[in-house]
Amino acid sequence: MIQRIQTIYLALSLFFALLLYFQPIASIVSPQTFEQLMIYGLQSNPKIWLYILYAPMIVLPLMQIFQYKNLKKQLFNGKLLLGSWIVWLIVFALLLKFYLLNGLPEISIQWHFAAIFPVVSIVLVLLANRAIRKDYALLSSINRIR
């Protein structure tokens, strides 16, 4: 049964993750330079390990959508996806604070609308996991009746 509400939540989460890849998160303005902050770091200074941390946000929702026959695996993938989003946010914030913006004096950050996409995606994954848990509870209660 792929036509459940959690499929919509996971598809939207995947959509926001893909959209985040193509949109700048912020603009960093200093007297010397104007840089775009993307998902992979500064536009002129990409970081390969941010790509590596970002890859599960594309693969895990797809896996979770198509594992509708095994709810335990779906829940596990949902927790893994949620954890990977949180780890990516923490690493990205630390990288922004201590590495990318360290050498730039008198900087100002102008956030774009794409900065909210990770949070929206986390909320959608939480809603999908809640719906999967409800399905699992329903199935286990039906099994108890038999």
Distance of CA 35 to the CA centre of its chain: 23
Q: In the predicted model, what is the mean pLDDT of residues 73-85?
A: 91
Residue 120 lies in a domain: yes
Tens-place pLDDT, residues 15-36:
999 998 888 888 877 777 777 7
By the 10 Å C-beta count (0-12 exposed, 13-18 middle, 19+ buried), 34 is classed as: exposed
Domain count of the chain?
A: 1
For residue 109, what are the domain limits? 5-137
- Is pLDDT of 1 > 60? no
Report the CATH number at residue 128.
Answer: 1.20.140.150
Tens-place pLDDT, residues 109-118:
788 888 899 9
Q: What are phi and psi of 43, to 5 degrees?
A: -60, -35
Q: Position of tokens 């923490």?
A: 90
Cα-atom radius of gyration of the chain, to the nearest Å?
19
List of residues 6+ apart from 138 with CB closer than 8 A:
none
Residue 118 lies in a domain: yes
Torsion of CA 135, 141, 144, 145, to 10 degrees: -110
Q: How far is it, in rounded angstroms, from Cα 29 to Cα 53?
A: 26
Residue 145 lies in a domain: no
